[in-house]
């Protein structure tokens, strides 16, 4: 991470919090900072809105940055039981609601991990969802075309947690106490990063977030909701989509991401009409935290190119 690691996650003065209600009565939290063209940042797991602070602290003076917590995460409402319907389209509909309520101009969407799947759902349905989107920017971008590569070679050893999260044992064991939650969350933040201490300044805040009532269940519901599609992908049963995403799209992929392999960029052309991609050579999974300045430059460069 290029910014000072002790200050990168500071909450900037002037940041505000919105709480929006969905048609079915769920509360969604959105943090906002800055002014200018609108960027909506969509996080992954194990993350919440604060994961974007290093990047927003760089971009905020020039952009209006909206950082929602997906349903089940952070300061948004949590499910009372493990759910099976909070898939990418579910979250995409929530993002469309946020844009409708808070945005008065076209938006650029930026996603990571789960956020990458949500962006693809939005990209394929933005007209139906009533969203005015300039383009899509991904920090790593898995697609259904990855198929059996999820389980080829030693990579099968990386995906154990996706099945573990489906079990009641996961909630009971990981959530047994603060220490067990900390051990579990630390594993992923460190194992998936090249820069092992990139979350160190805020690690206790991450633990606070995931020991909150329903927070583990909320994140695990994503994996439960996508399990059938995941298994079909692993078995090579999901063909490329009938129609490619036509919105301008760009990917900055962490070269050393151990869970979403950078080699999988070869499948992007199957899903996007207009796609460019680059690699962050010193980053793992959490590109936006590990190489913040590179990500900020990539965003600004990409948006400028789209405006030509």
The sign of the CA dihedral 280, 220, 73, 87 is: positive
Closest CA to 272 of 78, 169, 119, 161: 119
Task: For residue 296, count other CB atoms closer than 10 A to its CB.
Answer: 21
CB distance 55 to 39 below 8 Å: no
Supply 53's token pair: 């602070």
pLDDT value of residue 1: 40
In the set 91, 113, 165, 288, the catalytic residue is 113
Percent of the chain with pLDDT over 70: 98
pLDDT of 145 > 50? The answer is: yes
For the segment 1-27, what is each residue's pLDDT rounded down to a tens digit? 444 667 899 999 999 999 999 999 999
Residue spans of the domains in the chain: they are 16-306
Closest CA to 114 of 78, 148, 90: 90
For the segment 23-47, what is each residue's pLDDT rounded down to a tens digit? 999 999 999 999 999 999 999 999 9
Closest CA to 62 of 290, 307, 296: 296
Q: Which long-range contacts (CB under 8 A, 24 or more apart) does 10-13 make?
A: 10/53, 10/57, 11/50, 11/53, 12/53, 12/56, 12/57, 12/60
Closest CA to 259 of 151, 117, 120, 180: 151
For the segment 177-221, what is each residue's pLDDT rounded down to a tens digit? 999 999 999 999 999 999 999 999 999 999 999 999 999 999 999
pLDDT value of residue 308: 77
Output the pTM of the full model. 0.97
Is 285 considered catalytic here?
yes
Q: CB neighbours of 24 closer than 8 A, spacing ≥ 6?
A: none
For the segment 47-99, what is each residue's pLDDT rounded down to a tens digit? 999 999 999 999 999 999 999 999 999 999 999 999 999 999 999 999 999 99
Is 113 considered catalytic here?
yes
Angle between helices 114-129 and 88-102 (to 10 degrees): 60
Total number of residues shown for the chain: 308
Residue 130 and residue 290: Cα distance in Å, rounded?
A: 34
pLDDT value of residue 5: 66
Supply 172's token pair: 């009971």
pLDDT of 277 > 70? The answer is: yes
Q: Which of the four CATH numbers 2.30.42.10, 3.40.50.1820, 3.20.170.30, 3.30.830.10 does domain 16-306 have?
A: 3.40.50.1820
In the set 223, 271, 277, 288, the catalytic residue is 223
For the segment 232-272, what is each residue's pLDDT rounded down to a tens digit? 999 998 888 889 999 999 999 999 999 999 999 999 999 99
pLDDT value of residue 201: 97
Is 208 considered catalytic here?
no
């Amino acid at each position: 991470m290029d910014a000072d690691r002790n200050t990168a996650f500071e909450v900037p003065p002037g940041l505000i919090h919105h709480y929006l209600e969905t048609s079915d009565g769920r509360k969604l939290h959105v943090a906002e900072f800055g002014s200018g063209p609108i960027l909506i940042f969509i996080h992954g797991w194990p993350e919440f809105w604060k994961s974007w602070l290093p990047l927003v602290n760089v971009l905020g003076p020039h952009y209006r940055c909206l950082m929602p917590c997906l349903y089940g995460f952070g300061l948004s409402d949590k499910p009372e039981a493990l759910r099976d319907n909070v898939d990418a389209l579910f979250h995409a509909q929530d993002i469309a609601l946020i844009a409708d309520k808070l945005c008065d101009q076209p938006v650029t969407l930026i996603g990571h991990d789960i956020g990458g799947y949500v962006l693809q759902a939005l990209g394929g349905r933005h007209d139906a969802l009533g969203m005015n989107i300039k383009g899509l920017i991904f920090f790593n971008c898995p697609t259904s075309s990855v198929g059996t590569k999820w389980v080829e070679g030693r990579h099968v050893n990386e995906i154990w947690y996706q099945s573990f999260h489906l079990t009641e044992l996961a909630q009971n064991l990981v959530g047994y106490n603060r220490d067990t939650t900390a051990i579990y969350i630390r594993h992923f933040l460190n194992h998936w990063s090249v820069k092992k201490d990139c979350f160190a300044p805020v690690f206790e805040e991450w633990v606070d977030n995931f020991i909150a009532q329903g927070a583990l269940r909320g994140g695990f519901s994503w994996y439960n909701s996508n399990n059938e599609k995941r298994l079909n992908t692993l078995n090579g049963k999901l063909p490329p989509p009938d129609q490619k995403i036509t919105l301008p799209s760009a990917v900055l992929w962490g070269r050393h991401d151990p869970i979403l392999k950078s080699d999988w960029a070869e499948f992007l052309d199957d899903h996007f009409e207009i796609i460019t991609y680059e690699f962050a050579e010193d980053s793992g999974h959490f590109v936006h935290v590990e190489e913040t300045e590179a990500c900020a430059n990539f965003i600004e460069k990409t948006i400028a190119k789209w405006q030509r």
